[in-house]
Structure 1
Amino acid sequence: MSNINCNVMNCAHNDSGVCYANKISINGKKSRTSTHTCCGSFLDAANYSNLTNNTEGNGPCSFVGCNVKTCTHNAGTVCALNNIAVTSSAPKANLYSETYCSSFKCK
């Protein structure tokens, strides 16, 4: 099971630094640096309230989909790491494009 540590504190899926979305998707097909990736599952809590109580699972996120073909951890369409970290390039993210997978490692 994957564990997503998240410091995007205004994400609706974030509960005390851990992601509680049912699954997340890391995007950025031809990224060369971590800041060119993004968490496609980011939802601003100001617009979407707190979703951590509305997930179908009974715990932290357990699936990391990944379409970043240039990442060494990409295993088809799934991240092969047990733990990843998602962060933001802004003090308060407004869009998913202001988030990124800091666990990204270019091939």
Structure 2
Amino acid sequence: MPNQQPSLDLMFQALADPARRSMVERLSRGPASVSELARPLDMSLPAVMQHLAMLEAGGIVASEKVGRVRTCQIQPDVLSLAEQWINQRRTQWEQRLDRLGAFLAAEDEDTQ
């Protein structure tokens, strides 16, 4: 089943933490260094690195070290997998609600 893919599981795990979502939000505006990502967060640099490792394990973020600076950037293709999964669930529920609405409308007509 597509929703059982480990990459999707890791991605949702990575997005479960507010600090990591904050990093993803910042990276959605463009690449950033680890120190830039750490600046607004109330945590140590090693803690930020652990969060980034989780984002990388989920495939959401990629990083590259040039000299002493590690720069991170978002991987939009991976986020589109989550979007597809969510959209499939939404479509299923919309169809179910449409059928329920039609059923209730038919029941209402029958009682009048």
Structure number with the bigger relative contact order (C-alpha 8 A, sep ≥ 6) is 1
> Fold match, TM over 0.5?
no
Q: Which TM bucket (shorter chain)?
A: under 0.3
In terms of fraction of residues, the more strand-rich structure is 1
TM-score by length of 1: 0.24
TM-score normalised to structure 2 length: 0.23
